[in-house]
Structure 1
Amino acid sequence: MSRKKYILIFFVIILLCLSLVSYSNTTIGRVLRFGPANANDYLEFPYHEISTTSTYFKFGEANLENIVKSRFYDVTYGNNQKVGDLDQFLEDTDTTSFIVIYKDNIIYEKYYNNYNRESIVTSFSISKSFTSALIGIAIDEGYIKSVYDPITDYLPELKKRDPRFSNIKIIDLLHMSSGVSYKEPPDDIYTYFAPDLRKLALEKTQVVEDPGNSFLYNNYNPLFLGMIIERSTGKTVSEYLEEKIWKPIGMEFDGSWSIDANDFEKMESGINCRAIDFAKFGRLYLRKGNWNGKQIISTGWSVASTAPYGPENNEYYPNIPIFKEYPGYYSLMWWGIRRDDKNYDFYAAGNHGQYIYVSPEKNLIIVRNGISYGKGMESEDMSWWPIIFYQFANQFPSE
């Protein structure tokens, strides 16, 4: 047999092996089958449905499009680049949905790159902020005793494997300071594609430092929180979200939460809905957990979740721009930027530039979804979107 035929047979065998692996229910198989994380992943993963009610909340409307465009025009990012024409900027940066709400009125709502108002967008890590809300509600309802409970009270398997897990409290998971090892790669791949996320978190995680010492963005933390919600409430995370948030605040559309191959929510990334309903979640926190007179989340929890957090340890946050060059922080699975000693903006953020940005002082909500962050919108360890939103909000009067 000629050398060329040997090579051809070799490559055919390799392709067949890859094909077989891609259809296997393994992490590598799912990586090959689904490909890199993208805005259409809601079409790939199975999901739990999240139903809404027949009546939904509707924002008011005010025709302030020209004012919005003019206030964004001179906003700068990156190497002193200007936003300029807003429509062109949003189209060029792979934006799909862009909504600005001021004093409960939609003053700008547009869709780009073949998306429309009914297009489904994927939350990516915005789901972490929803998870934080559900933990707060579970505490309010007595399912969870305290945010200072050791996680091993709910996940005793961890203590049997390593007694140091009993030092980790629920609040350490929320602050992203659990002391659990996390490296990118491979942990970002495991926590996104593993077919059994419960097993992954319970059996493969390692404690490498004392909790509370340093911030490390870690996708194992929301997996632990999801299991705590399941075990304490006796419900799936999706059921609890539907019952406690989705229906009570009148989401306009049904949503879904992507799951692994074992019926567990992708806690780090998987809520799928329409942009306008993300805005309602922002409104819930803008109003400190109150929805038209009904307290959905306790005021104390909603404030604690978003308020500035920074231990006296100067080495707590990593040396990246959002913490060092801007007055940024990370609270209970919400990011934030201080304005002054009393005021701050906060935001939920997800991969590829998904944002729910809230400025309480300005009575402002901004939602941005996208296929990617957009060209020029990322530099090393930095996304410019929150800085753009912050500058835009600066031009509104304080409440």
Structure 2
Amino acid sequence: MRLPVRLLLAALLLTGVVYAGAWATVDRYGASRAIAWLGADTGDVERFPSRAVPRGGPVLELPPGPTLDLAAAWDVDDADALLEQTQTAAFLVVHDGRLRYEHYLGDNGPEVLRTSFSVAKSVVSTLIGLAIDDGAIQSLDEPITDFVPELLDRDARFADITVRDLLTMSSGLSYVERSLPWSDDAQTYYGTDLRATALSARVDHRPGEQFLYNNYNLLLEGLVLERATGAPVAEYLSARLWGPMGAEADATWSLDSDRSGFEKMESGLNAVARDYARFGLLFANGGRVGDRQVVPPAWVELATSRGEETRPHPGYGLHWWTGDFAGTALPDGHAMAAGNFGQFVYVAPDAAVVVVRLGDDHGTDDWPARFAQIVEHVRTDAA
């Protein structure tokens, strides 16, 4: 009996040493972060270093409108209870530019920065559109090797991958999720030098043929943006989008490390709930804020469209969900930015409605259907 006990004690000691070593090196190795921090969660906003995204210029006001009866929209007895049961942190409904519902739970409030996870992808897509509008990127069909030529030293097939291929998740790059410290999903999330991680991407098949949700695409988009604009992504966001759209608060963008200083492109934007709503309003209003055109209308239409220009996924635009999402079909013309643990910015231009839901967990799989119920309720009330 002594040998098994000794083995158990040795295993426990080894585990403790590995865990302590991981905590001691979280600033140096992505694998250490994956071991020490375990899975991603909404507390990651506090774990990673970050770069400020200052607001600037006039704030787009969101005056209160008639209070939305959320329980009636959902046909439930107690909407607040449903939000609490689903671990919702913030829930906002904006209609015709007026804030018709705003509810926070727990320690959250209008001033609390909440991390976006993959909602950030829709913001990155918008920055690509602005960089094209600025002439820093020639077009969606420009090869990424125009900006990252060193990829060609590893594989000549990188020359076939365009900016469009990255945005439509059809780059043909390999990506395997195994929930292991050295797997692609862990390294693209926890890596301490994400520029190097981006350059380690591997070509698996021809671009433009298969949809694969792949975070290497976002890291490469970050390199393209950084090199095309000559500025850190957070700085470009502040100047070209966050300020012009009328944000009320500074945001932050989580970084891979202080040493590398590269934005976590796939998930790291952190902002207050009302500013996520303002981002949604920008797309509900065709890229306009008042009488100012902030994002080209053609980009808004393309990014949130379905069809040949956003092949090969029929329900995915340029980092916007536009069709089927987790088994629920979005109504025609509606679009949604979606992130892990149920972060959503839902845009219904035909009804002038934006819904923001932020949470610590998904809570339920039927959020898109519930957002559509709100839109129909608002539409019926306005008729």
Please confirm whether the aligned pair reaches a TM-score higher than 0.5, indicating the same fold. yes
Change (3 A) 1:303 1:90: same
The equivalent of 2:9 in structure 1 is: 8
CA contact (8 A) 1:337 1:344 kept: no
Change (3 A) 1:263 1:312: closer
How far apart, CA to CA, are the structure 1 residues paired with 2:11 and 2:188? 33
Change (3 A) 1:40 1:243: same
How far apart, CA to CA, are the structure 2 residues paired with 1:31 and 1:287? 40
CA contact (8 A) 1:120 1:272 kept: yes
| DSSP 3-state at the match of 2:281 | helix
Per-residue deviation, 1:53: 2.9
CA contact (8 A) 2:19 2:36 kept: no
1:125-147 C-alpha deviation (Å, 9 max, x unpaired):
01111101111111111111111
- 1:93 aligned partner, one-letter code: T
The equivalent of 2:289 in structure 1 is: 291
| Number of residue pairs aligned between Structure 1 and Structure 2 | 367
Q: Given the alignment of the two structures, is residue 99 of structure 1 paired with residue 99 of structure 2, yes or no?
A: no
Q: Given the alignment of the two structures, is residue 147 of structure 1 paired with residue 140 of structure 2, yes or no?
A: yes
1:158-237 alignment to 2 at 5 Å?
Answer: 158-185=151-178, 186-203=183-200, 205-237=201-233
The equivalent of 2:352 in structure 1 is: 363
1:52-88 C-alpha deviation (Å, 9 max, x unpaired):
137422112113233x331122xxxxxxxxx552111
TM normalised by structure 1 equals 0.87
The equivalent of 2:74 in structure 1 is: 72
How far apart, CA to CA, are the structure 2 residues paired with 1:310 and 1:183? 27
TM normalised by structure 2 equals 0.90
- 1:358 aligned partner, one-letter code: V
Change (3 A) 1:301 1:16: same
The equivalent of 1:62 in structure 2 is: 65
Which one is further off, 237-246 or 342-351? 342-351
Q: Given the alignment of the two structures, is residue 388 of structure 1 paired with residue 370 of structure 2, yes or no?
A: yes
Q: Given the alignment of the two structures, is residue 48 of structure 1 paired with residue 51 of structure 2, yes or no?
A: yes
CA contact (8 A) 1:358 1:366 kept: yes
Q: Given the alignment of the two structures, is residue 352 of structure 1 paired with residue 341 of structure 2, yes or no?
A: yes
1:80-126 C-alpha deviation (Å, 9 max, x unpaired):
xxx55211111100000000011111111001133222222110001
CA contact (8 A) 1:23 1:33 kept: no
Per-residue deviation, 1:337: 3.4
How far apart, CA to CA, are the structure 2 residues paired with 1:312 and 1:17? 45
How far apart, CA to CA, are the structure 1 residues paired with 2:308 and 2:222? 25
Q: Given the alignment of the two structures, is residue 118 of structure 1 paired with residue 100 of structure 2, yes or no?
A: no
| DSSP 3-state at the match of 2:234 | helix
| DSSP 3-state at the match of 2:247 | coil
CA contact (8 A) 2:285 2:352 kept: no
| DSSP 3-state at the match of 2:106 | coil
How far apart, CA to CA, are the structure 1 residues paired with 2:7 and 2:20? 20
Per-residue deviation, 1:275: 0.5
| DSSP 3-state at the match of 1:217 | coil
Identify unmatched segments of 5+ residues in structure 2: none
The equivalent of 1:136 in structure 2 is: 129
Per-residue deviation, 1:179: 0.7
| DSSP 3-state at the match of 1:117 | coil
The equivalent of 2:251 in structure 1 is: 255
Which one is further off, 163-172 or 285-294? 285-294
Between the aligned residues of both structures, percent identity stands at 36
Change (3 A) 1:54 1:138: closer
Identify unmatched segments of 5+ residues in structure 1: 74-82, 318-327, 379-383
CA RMSD of aligned residues (A): 2.3
| DSSP 3-state at the match of 1:335 | coil
Per-residue deviation, 1:9: 5.0
Which one is further off, 113-122 or 53-62? 53-62
How far apart, CA to CA, are the structure 2 residues paired with 1:50 and 1:35? 28
Per-residue deviation, 1:397: 3.0
Per-residue deviation, 1:12: 2.4
Per-residue deviation, 1:29: 0.6
CA contact (8 A) 2:53 2:242 kept: yes
1:200-250 C-alpha deviation (Å, 9 max, x unpaired):
1112x1111111112111111111100000001110000000011111122
1:243-291 C-alpha deviation (Å, 9 max, x unpaired):
1111112211111000102100000000011101000000111111111
How far apart, CA to CA, are the structure 2 residues paired with 1:149 and 1:392? 40
Change (3 A) 1:311 1:117: closer
